[in-house]
Amino acid sequence: MFINRIENPILRTLVEWLFAVGFAIILFFLVRTFIFRVARVDGNSMSPTLVHGDMVVLSRFLYLFTAPRAGDIVAFPYQGDPSEYYIKRVIAVPGDIVDLRYGEFFINGERLDDAFAVEPIRAMGDVGFPIVIEEELFFVLGDNRNGSRDSRNATVGNVPARDMIGQVVVRIWPLDRLGRVD
C-alpha cells in the first residue's frame, strides 16, 4: 500500500488516521442506511407499549428481506415533516379487509384481538370502512386507539412498504424499560 512508502513518520501517521476516520464515517453511514437507526418517541399514540421520550432502535435490515407482518411496530415518515417519524403497529397487510364496527376492528371478518387497546374505540377517523388493503400498502394503528393519528385518517392513510424506515425492535431508554418491544 502507498502508506508504507511514506517515509516521514508524522505524515504516515496522519494519513493512517485519515484513512481510519474515513473508513469509520463510511461504515457509520452504511450501518445507518441499511441496518439500524435510533428514534425518539414523541407523543403517546403508542401508549402503553411506547411512551413519550422512549428511545428505540429501528431495524432497517429486517425489511430488506421480508415484508412487514401484522403486529410489527414500524416507523415511517410523517407527511408534514419527513424528517420526523410516526411509529405505529401494523394491523393489516395487503389483501386484508379492514372494518371498524361498533368501536371494534375486524380483519377479514374476524374481530381483532386488540390486547393493545386499553379502552373502547371512540375515534373512528375520516376514512370509510370497510377497506381492502392494496398491494404494497399496510394499515397501521397506534396502540392508544383514541389518541392516535393513523390509517383511520386520510392525512396518514395506508403506509407504502417503501416508506417504512424500519421495525422497532428494542427500547434503549429509559434504562428501567430497556428491552425488546412487542
- Cβ–Cβ under 8 Å, residues 173 and 75: no
3-state secondary structure of 68: coil
Please state the domain extents for the chain.
Answer: 1-34, 37-180
From 45, 47, 148, 151, active-site residue: 45
Task: Kindly write down the DSSP assignment for every residue of 88-153, as one continuous string.
Answer: EEEEE-TT-EEEEETTEEEETTEE---TT--S------SS-SSEEPPTTEEEEE-SSGGG--STTS
From 47, 88, 148, 151, active-site residue: 88
Walk along the chain (182 residues) and give the pLDDT tens digit of each residue. Answer: 666 777 778 887 887 888 778 777 776 776 666 677 888 999 999 989 999 999 999 988 778 788 899 999 999 998 777 878 899 999 999 999 999 988 889 999 999 887 777 777 887 888 889 999 999 999 999 999 888 899 999 889 999 999 998 999 999 999 899 888 88
Q: In the annotation, is 88 catalytic?
A: yes
C-alpha grid cell, residue 173: 431508554
Predicted local confidence at residue 17, as pLDDT: 84
In sequence order, which residues have a C-beta less than 8 Å from that of residue 47 and are 6 or more positions away?
118, 143, 144, 147
Classify domain 37-180 at the CATH superfamily level.
Umud Fragment, subunit A (2.10.109.10)
